[in-house]
A and B are shown apart, each in its own frame.
Chain A
């Protein structure tokens, strides 16, 4: 038994010294490299389809939140991440591309969080996501008429987009489904 104890002690010493010897750490390698997908696309029509796909998933997500359905919202979050990834922007000006890349990076992060959070957090992320998507539409346009709606109660006032002018609140769901009003009509 004594022998065992001695060998345990010896091994522990060895471990600590090995750990210390490994100080040769590599210098920082992280450069926040979140590369956007620059898939080259020629047809202008394609671009619009991609933006419409993002919008379609956004509206599905909104409806899931209106229905207080956290699981479905998470699924829609995952779908939205994929739609955002597929977004191509070669038909836009350089300035617009920069803005869009920024919007998409931000929106992707929020969609990713929505894919793995519970309902209240999903709603928090949905607020910023809605701002991103609204800014995106301002650049890309859309074939449908959209309604920007506003709820004065949620987090000092929050907006979202809808294809219908009837208010169904995604921030409160069944608790206060009618809270809010149409703030703006978006037509292109």
Chain B
């Protein structure tokens, strides 16, 4: 029993310890003028779907549930968000050249088509982020239209 007690205590101390290591929160008060929704005419349903399912990792503003502020989950998340924004940041849409926009749209469409985005690890917790087959089609059609207009 004693050894179990010691192990539990050591783990707990470590767990508490890592909480003091700071992480950078991805949060921003204002939406930049270059945001995807501001420079494109986006229908309401598409707008909502993209905000709910994509913006947490592909914009400068993440809606954090409380458990995502606890380590080591917070690290994992920070990493995901940094990678996500590097690939695509909806807040900086207008800064991409037309060539880049077309490329990004193509990738967005194929990721949605192949169910690669949103990530399963994300939709497990964010049930509302999951796309139904209908929603997928709607999104792909609209995004393809946008791509062809560029």
Contacts and interface: CB of A to CB of B under 8 A. Distances in A.
Contacts, number: 74
Interface string B4-17: 01001100100110
Interface residues of A, number: 30
B21 to A, nearest CB: 9
Interface class of chain A by DSSP:
helix
Interface in B94-120: 95, 97, 99-100, 102-103, 106, 110
Given A4-B5, A15-B15, A30-B60, A110 B26 contact: no
Given A8-B12, A32-B95, A106 B103 contact: yes
Given A11-B15, A29-B24, A19 B100 contact: no
B137 interface: no
Interface in B1-54: 5, 8-9, 12, 15-16, 19-20, 22-28
Contacts of A128: 102-103, 106
A28 B60 contact: yes
Given A102-B99, A132-B99, A30 B89 contact: yes
Given A19-B19, A124-B106, 18 more contacts: A4-B8, A7-B9, A8-B8, A8-B12, A11-B15, A14-B16, A15-B16, A15-B70, A16-B66, A18-B20, A22-B69, A25-B24, A25-B27, A27-B28, A30-B60, A106-B100, A110-B103, A128-B103
